[in-house]
Structures are given as C-alpha cells and as structure tokens.
Amino acid sequence: MNKLLSVLAISAMIASPSFASGDVGDVEAGAKVFKKCIVCHTIDGSTKKKSGPLLDGVFGRTAGTLEGYKYSKGMIAAGEGGLVWTEETMAQWLTKPRDLVKKNKMAFAGLKKEEDIKNVEAYLLTFSPDYVAEKSD
C-alpha cells in the first residue's frame, strides 16, 4: 500500500505545473542507481542501523536533523545555516557531497551522470510524499 501511495504521489508531482519542465527523472532507473546508496542508507521505513541516515522524508527536511542519527558537525552546521533538502540541494549533494557540506561523514564521492542524479531524486521523492504533495499544490 505504501508503494502505491508513493507512486501516486510522484505521479501527482509530475503532473504538477511546477514540474512541467520535464526535469523529473525516472523512478525505476533511480531505484537501480540507488543500489549504490543502499550500502549505507536505509529507506522505506527500515529500522536497520547503517552508517548513513534513513532517507524516508528526506525532501523538505532540514539537513542534520533526523532524530536518532548522529550527524557530523559539518552537517549539523549546514542545517543550522539553512540547508534544506530540495531537488536543487540534493542534486548538488549527489554530484559532490564534500562541495556542499565540508567535513561530512559520507565517503561516497558523488554521481557523475546528470541523468543518474535526476533518477535518484525521482526515486527518493517517492519516499517524501508530504513534500511532493506540498509542491503539487
């Protein structure tokens, strides 16, 4: 049921005039690229502890604020400085995490292909239905 709601939410987002530019990636392709991330991150309500935070609801969330996860000082400072996860900030993060937040804990260097970045964003957006609903209004 949760997957169905996520698919409906992303469909509503894509149909929204604010997303009409065709700038949204492919959810299915994003799920495949996300396999690089699953080594450190959990998603879809998982309670398994990994080295990275749970990414459910990441869009619209202030960086460094997920309760129960021990963030780096750099990520906490970025959030305190106003960093919120949006399509734009996530694209910057996925491209080069260390360029967006100095001294963060993420070891991954980033994705090279813009298409992969857009696809991962589309996939992650399916786990942020509140953000998608807000953007669709």
What structural domains does the chain harbor?
A: 26-128 (1.10.760.10)
Per-10-residue mean pLDDT, the chain, length 137: 52 46 81 95 89 96 96 97 97 96 92 97 95 87
pLDDT in the model for residue 3: 54
**What does the block give as tokens for 32?**
């495949």
Q: What is the pLDDT of residue 46?
A: 84
Beta carbons of 25 and 111 less than 8 angstroms apart: no
Q: Looking at residue 8, what is its pLDDT?
A: 53
Q: What is the pLDDT of residue 16?
A: 46
pLDDT given for residue 10 in this prediction = 53
Residue-level pLDDT at 17:
41
Cα–Cα distances in angstroms (integers) from residue 72 to residues 65, 77, 121, 130, in the given order? 11, 9, 23, 26
DSSP characters for 37-100? TTTT---TT-----SS---TT-TTPBTT--TT----HHHHHHHHTT-B--HHHHHHHHH-HHHH
Q: How many angstroms separate the CA atoms of 86 and 97, rounded?
A: 14
